[in-house]
């Protein structure tokens, strides 16, 4: 029987290796472009060195450092308040503060710019009240981009830090107080170090999104490597230089991941989960008012204000201003999201299944490496994957006579590579809940891997599969860099429509697709809130 199972397992492991190869292939193609630097590429690189390469590196580094500081300060402070402090409205804020996750960064960027620029309502109001020469800070600098991305990305740190604080409860603070530390000293010297793995994990997710961002930085005309990749492709018409710039962006990503891993090197963290939800700190008077005001301001600025402004613009523009093409953009968006979501779920299910196949130590190691490589795509910016895939498909088109370049198939492959890790996480977590005795019993009755997958794993994993599909579906609809670079002619999506309208300063006409994306983006946020509540109740 074991030979039968192992005989059928090689096919599944081969499929997992193929999935890993599809993700790695674009990266190898990108790195290989450094071997083909011609005269044209040398001239472009000389121009970049003389004009903007140093600015690209500095801007990207400033963005990473600024957003990293912003999301940690916001996420950790809000998580602490809503977890272990009792103040008016806490139960509302503990889930409402996750809502900004539904707003794409590029949507927040053009709303912020529309409100705060010279002709916006804020500066107009100040000039009318204080005079035409009233000073106002430049909102299109680095600080504006950092604020915008911090507001939309802090929920990553908030969710994970809050989970860590729930597990700690007041026990660590009380232990620190017994040792003579003040409450503030115990928080920074005991609580934060123990919650460090969760905080850093959330920070890493936020920084990956920051490095991948194209929409927000383009709205603010803030040059980073993502905008340089797009300009090299569509401005300089040189795909090789775009790939070489993409490899430099990969260097930023690699350093970020290495630092994240190094920060946890040889570290061990344990927590006592007893009494985690008891004895909240009762805030009263000014402390309670300050906590409520702080949470209210963050929620208002990060979610309610942009949604209200978009609604006003949408009503002002009217549906007729969408040139009758809105339904087409919506159809393309939904279609791409559905196809990519289904493909990502199928591949993620395959990887999670292969992880649990019996086999030798070597086979298990091969499966583990395949899964790690296949789920690497979420750490890669969409622009990097787009360049690598387009280069690879261009080569295949010239060699085999195919028509993959600029096709929907190429775009779906990019989506699947980018968001496979998003689909894999809930499916793998669901499989962990399946009792090994059920699988062992099926194997003892002669069930081969394919039958195990069809008749046991898939029925038991239905909730996890739905969650994985929903999250990938929404992430695909919000993805801008890969869509903007790889979309076939005539296949504009809601994200591309927003970019086109905001590039022309037509905020009102970008409002309807933006509100649509936010409304759909609330679905995975709702799932995350429900799961978080369920986890707390089970605790």
- Sequence ranges of the domains in the chain: 1-34+318-503, 37-313
Residues pairing with 281 in the sheet? 85
pLDDT-derived band at 343, boundaries 50, 70, 90: very high
pLDDT-derived band at 174, boundaries 50, 70, 90: low
Cα 300 from chain centre: 22
pLDDT-derived band at 176, boundaries 50, 70, 90: low
Cα angle at 139 between 136 and 140, to 5 degrees? 140
Domains 1-34+318-503 and 37-313 share a fold: yes
Of 260-269, 295-304, 320-329, 432-441, which range is least confident? 260-269
Helix 494-503 and helix 462-478, axial crossing angle in degrees, nearest 10: 20
Quickly tell me which residue has 């040792």 as its tokens.
Answer: 179
- b/e map 274-288, b = 16+ CB within 10 Å: eebeeeebebeeeeb
What architecture is the 1-34+318-503 domain classified under in CATH? Orthogonal Bundle (1.10)
Query: Residue 151 pLDDT more than 90?
Result: yes
Query: Residue 93 pLDDT more than 90?
Result: yes
Give per-residue pLDDT as tens, 187-245: 666 677 777 888 888 888 888 889 888 889 988 889 888 888 888 877 777 778 888 88
Whole-number pLDDT of residue 295: 94
Tell me how far CA of residue 301 lies from CA of 18, 203, 306, 513, in angstroms. 45, 21, 7, 20
Tell me how far CA of residue 172 lies from CA of 72, 84, 169, 188, in angstroms. 20, 12, 7, 11
Whole-number pLDDT of residue 178: 64
CA separation for the pair 532, 79 (Å, rounded): 13
pTM of whole model > 0.85? no
User: CATH: 1.10.260.40, 2.40.10.480, 1.20.1630.10, 1.10.3720.10. Which one for 37-313?
Assistant: 1.10.3720.10
Q: From the CB of residue 333, how many other CB atoms can be counted at a distance below 10 Å? A: 26
Q: How much is the average pLDDT of 19-48? A: 83
Pair 29, 396: CB distance under 8 Å: no
Give per-residue pLDDT as tens, 364-396: 788 888 888 888 877 778 888 888 888 888 888
**Cα atoms in the Cβ-side hemisphere of radius 13 Å centred on 468:** 31
Whole-number pLDDT of residue 189: 67
Cα angle at 328 between 397 and 304, to 5 degrees? 115
Whole-number pLDDT of residue 76: 92
Q: How much is the average pLDDT of 162-171? A: 72
Query: Residue 455 pLDDT more than 80?
Result: no
What is the number of H-type helices and E-type strands within the chain?
26, 2
Based on the number of CB atoms within 10 Å of its own CB, is 39 exposed (0-12), middle (13-18) or buried (19 or more)?
exposed
The mean pLDDT of the chain is 81
User: Alpha helices of 267-381 — where are they, by DSSP H?
Assistant: 285-299, 305-317, 326-355, 361-374
Query: Residue 516 pLDDT more than 80?
Result: yes
Q: How much is the average pLDDT of 473-497? A: 87
Pair 161, 82: CB distance under 8 Å: no
- Region of 223 on the Ramachandran plot (φ > 0 left; ψ -120 to 50 alpha; else beta): beta
């Amino acid at each position: 029987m074991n030979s039968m199972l192992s005989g059928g397992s090689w096919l599944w492991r081969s499929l997992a290796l193929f999935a890993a190869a599809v993700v790695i292939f674009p990266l190898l193609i990108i790195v290989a472009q450094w071997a083909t630097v011609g005269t044209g590429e040398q001239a472009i690189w000389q121009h970049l060195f003389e004009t903007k390469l140093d600015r690209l590196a500095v801007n990207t580094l400033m963005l990473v450092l600024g957003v990293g500081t912003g999301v940690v300060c916001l996420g950790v402070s809000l998580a602490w308040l809503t977890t272990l402090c009792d103040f008016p409205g806490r139960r509302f804020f503990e889930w409402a503060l996750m809502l900004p996750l539904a707003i794409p960064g590029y949507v927040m960027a053009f709303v912020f710019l529309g409100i705060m620029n010279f002709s916006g309502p804020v500066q107009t109001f100040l000039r009318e009240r204080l005079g035409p020469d009233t000073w106002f800070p430049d909102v299109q600098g680095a600080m504006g981009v950092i604020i915008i991305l911090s507001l939309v990305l802090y929920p990553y740190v908030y969710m994970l830090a809050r989970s860590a604080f729930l597990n700690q409860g007041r026990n660590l603070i009380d232990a620190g107080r017994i040792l003579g530390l003040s409450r503030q000293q115990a928080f920074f010297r005991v609580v934060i170090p123990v919650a460090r793995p969760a905080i850093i994990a959330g920070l890493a997710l936020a920084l990956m999104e920051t490095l991948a961002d194209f929409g927000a930085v383009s709205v603010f005309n803030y040059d980073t490597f993502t905008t340089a990749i797009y300009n090299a492709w569509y401005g300089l018409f040189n795909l090789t230089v775009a790939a070489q710039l993409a490899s430099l962006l990969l260097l930023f990503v690699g350093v970020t991941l290495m630092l994240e891993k190094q920060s946890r090197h040889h570290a061990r963290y344990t927590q006592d989960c007893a009494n985690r939800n008891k004895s909240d700190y009762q805030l009263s008077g000014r402390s309670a008012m300050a906590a409520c005001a702080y949470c209210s301001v963050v929620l208002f600025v990060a979610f309610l204000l942009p949604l209200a402004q978009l609604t006003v613009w949408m009503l002002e523009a009217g549906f007729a201003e969408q040139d009758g093409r809105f339904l087409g953009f919506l159809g393309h968006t939904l279609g791409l999201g559905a196809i990519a979501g289904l493909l990502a779920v199928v591949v993620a299910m395959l990887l999670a299944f292969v992880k649990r196949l019996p086999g030798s130590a070597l086979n298990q190691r091969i499966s583990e490496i395949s899964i790690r490589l296949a789920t690497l795509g979420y750490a890669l910016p969409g622009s990097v994957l787009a360049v690598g895939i387009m280069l690879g498909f261009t080569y295949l088109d010239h060699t085999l006579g195919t028509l993959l370049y600029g096709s929907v198939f190429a775009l779906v492959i990019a989506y699947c590579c980018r968001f496979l890790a998003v689909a894999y996480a809930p499916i793998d977590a669901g499989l962990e809940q399946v009792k090994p005795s059920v699988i062992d019993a099926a194997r003892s009755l002669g069930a081969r891997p394919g039958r195990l997958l069809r008749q046991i794993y898939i029925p038991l994993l239905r909730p996890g599969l739905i969650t994985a599909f929903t999250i990938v579906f929404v992430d695909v609809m919000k993805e801008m860099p890969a869509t903007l670079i790889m979309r076939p002619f005539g296949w504009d999506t809601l994200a591309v429509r927003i970019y086109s309208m905001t590039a022309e300063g037509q905020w009102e006409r970008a409002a309807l697709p933006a509100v649509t994306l936010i409304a759909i983006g609330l679905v995975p946020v709702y799932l995350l809130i429900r799961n978080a509540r369920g986890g707390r109740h089970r605790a």
